[in-house]
Amino acid sequence: MTSSTLSAEFTLPEEHSTNRSGPVRWLISHTLRYWPLSITLLGGAISNAALAAVVPILIGQAFDAILASPPDTTALLSIALTIAGTQVLRGVLQFGRNFSAELFGQRLERDIRDELYVNLLGKSMTFHSLQPVGDIMARATNDVREINLMFNPGINLVVGSAIFMFMPLIFAPRYHPSLVVTPALYIIAYTIAIRQYLRELEPVTAEVRGSFGDLNSRLAEAIDGVETVKGMSQENNEVRRFITNARRYRDAVVHQGDIEARFLPLLLLALANAGGLLHSLILYSQGVLDVGDVVAYFGLLQLLGFPTFVSLFAYSQVSLGVAGAKRILELINRENDLDQNVAGYSGEMRGEIEFKNVTFIYGQGEPALQDISLKIKPGQTVAIVGQTGTGKTSLVKLINRTYDTSTGQVLVDGIDVREWNLEGLRRKISIIEQDVFLFSRSISANINFGLQDASREMSVEAAKAAQADNFINSFPENYDTVIGERGVTLSGGQRQRLALARAFLTDPRILILDDSTSAIDSETEDNIQQAIYAAARGRTTLIITHRLSQIRWADLILVLRQGRLVAAGTHDELMQSSEAYQRIFSERG
């Protein structure tokens, strides 16, 4: 499965398609675009191992030169200079290798963050409603970082150490063919031990990443809802819950450490050194080897120490990286029903809305809406009323495809909303909700969010229309004032007026107000009522409200009950014909 085959609400052109059929294949598809760095990394690893093997060979020759009678000092000088020269070259090549590995890791981290971020923006609200924000943040930050560390130092050391292992096999026969037995047996035993080690480590590293995600998720939730926590004196319970999650994460990390502490290759290395030295000494006693050969061979065996000690850390890092990649890919591959439909209709919109036998179900639950059929003419103002939980918000969110219908059709200007270009559809529809979200940016940036190239004059006019200009100018930096995250430094009424200004600026053909004046005082409401009335002219306006003043002047009133449309008409008509409407109106009268 490639990234281009997945549906999404939002995508960007991709220069490189990734294989999302599994975490390893996904990572490989990311690395292929940087194959020159792979060659540099591999070349540096091979040269590093080969030049490291030169040292014990030359030291063995130095021993022979010292033991010669008389000692060959000329040869010693040549050997010393050769060692110095090869190790300087090794250092230069190592720098190139490590630089390539670091660049490799950083670029992969950047690319994966970009892919994940674009993918998250393309997910439907069904996905975001169910996925904890803290868990998403853990995957988008720590798990992505683990992939960087998996490549450097993880895979960088794994590749380098693997090549080190073959140096004794390559150079031992120069002293005696039988000396390959010890490194060959060690490599076989090491491979078996590493496979078992990784098999034990895989579920534990997955638990480490998963428990960290849960810890982060619960922490983010508690901080986001800190006002509720404090207001209900639940600090102690939240602390206990955090300690429980922290202990689970700690236990997973300790379990990982326990597996690493029982790393069998360390014992195998000691046995290989002892066996190899014994073998070479037996050959020496038989006159097959001289002292320099024994020293050189034992020095070659010492090269096995680097991959053994490094693999204790490197393979754990690789396992953590694969676990992180699996968690990220699981998020990316999560089912997404909505498609941006790039080739869809994106022409002008008049604002006609029609529901044809619409039923909508959240997940596998009970229907939120059942068999809704109605038609709204362009420019009409429609009030939607009903008790809490009757599906009013669900109804309006089908229009801009926040959700898609389970059965039936929603048409805008006679065109099924699924056949619209999603961006073109949403740019012409503005929804102002009761729970207004504002960004931690300046007031003008929040007003301009839907039309980011708008001038200051346009922002001011929109704010005036929403009755927000006066309170904005009361701040020391007026429109340049930076508000807190989610607009917490503003009152509810101020937040809703900024949301109204944001909607007015985009000049939508369909305006939806979801109980958007609920946090506004009566004096301000009178002013905003006039602003909404003026804004409704020439565009289709849907108002979910309990305020009688807004219900009365609607051209059409829809009465919902238990997800069904039970009545539709003007105020006077419904007062005569609908008991449900009469009951709602009398309760608010």
**Each residue of 396-450: pLDDT tens digit?**
999 998 888 999 999 999 999 999 998 889 889 988 887 788 888 899 999 998 8
Q: How confident is the model at residue 4 (pLDDT cuts 50, 70, 90)?
A: very low
Contact (CB, 8 A) for 34 and 104: yes
Sheet holding 367-376, edge to edge: 367-376, 353-361, 407-412, 415-416
- Give the side-chain half-sphere CA count within 13 A for 424: 16
Number of helical (H) and strand (E) elements in the chain, helices listed first: 23, 10
Determine if the peptide bond prior to 70 is cis (ω within 30°): yes
What span, in angstroms and rounded, lies between the C-alpha atoms of 204 and 470? Answer: 58
Contact (CB, 8 A) for 527 and 447: no
Mean pLDDT, residues 306-330: 88
Select, from the ranges 189-193, 218-222, 386-390, the one with the highest average predicted confidence (pLDDT). Answer: 189-193
Determine if the peptide bond prior to 265 is cis (ω within 30°): no
Specify the long-range contacts of residues 95-98, CB closer than 8 Å, at least 24 apart. 96/40, 96/44, 97/40, 97/41, 97/43, 97/44, 97/45, 97/48, 97/156, 97/160, 98/44, 98/152, 98/156
Q: DSSP 3-state assignment of 270?
A: helix
- Give the side-chain half-sphere CA count within 13 A for 352: 10
> What pLDDT does 520 receive?
59
> What pLDDT does 409 receive?
95
Give the Å distances, CA to CA, from 319 to 322, 323, 447, 529.
Answer: 5, 6, 46, 60
Q: How confident is the model at residue 73 (pLDDT cuts 50, 70, 90)?
A: confident
Give the Å distances, CA to CA, from 36 to 95, 101, 162, 584.
Answer: 16, 11, 20, 71
Nearest to 564 by CA among 373, 414, 405: 373
Task: Give the residue carrying structure tokens 């120069």.
Answer: 174
What dotted CATH number matches 353-588?
A: 3.40.50.300
Q: Residue 575 CB: number of other CB atoms within 10 A?
A: 14
Stretch(es) of the chain classified as CATH 3.40.50.300: 353-588
What span, in angstroms and rounded, lies between the C-alpha atoms of 537 and 535? Answer: 5
What span, in angstroms and rounded, lies between the C-alpha atoms of 148 and 377? Answer: 55
CA terminus-to-terminus distance, the chain: 58
* Centroid of chain to Cα 462: 35
**Each residue of 253-267: pLDDT tens digit?**
999 889 888 888 889
Specify the long-range contacts of residues 357-365, CB closer than 8 Å, at least 24 apart. 357/407, 357/408, 357/409, 358/398, 358/405, 358/407, 358/408, 358/409, 358/410, 359/405, 359/406, 359/407, 359/408, 360/391, 360/394, 360/398, 360/403, 360/405, 360/406, 361/406, 362/126, 362/394, 363/126, 363/130
**Is 588 a residue whose pLDDT tops 80?**
no
**Is 587 a residue whose pLDDT tops 70?**
no
The β-bridge partners of 381 are 541
What span, in angstroms and rounded, lies between the C-alpha atoms of 410 and 542? Answer: 15
Q: What is the DSSP letter of 483?
A: P
What span, in angstroms and rounded, lies between the C-alpha atoms of 328 and 52? Answer: 38
What span, in angstroms and rounded, lies between the C-alpha atoms of 111 and 100? Answer: 16
* Sequence-distant (≥ 6) Cβ neighbours of residue 29 within 8 angstroms: 16, 17, 18, 19
**Each residue of 88-109: pLDDT tens digit?**
999 999 998 999 999 999 999 9
**Each residue of 209-231: pLDDT tens digit?**
888 888 888 887 788 777 777 77
In the CATH hierarchy, which top-level class contains the domain 8-332? mainly alpha
Q: Which helix (H) or strand (E) holds 90?
A: helix 73-121
- The percentage of the chain sitting over the pLDDT mark of 70, rounded to a whole number, equals 93
Stretch(es) of the chain classified as CATH 1.20.1560.10: 8-332
Q: How confident is the model at residue 20 (pLDDT cuts 50, 70, 90)?
A: confident
- The percentage of the chain sitting over the pLDDT mark of 90, rounded to a whole number, equals 39
> What pLDDT does 526 receive?
67
Residue type, 560: L
**Is 545 a residue whose pLDDT tops 90?**
no
pTM beyond 0.95: no
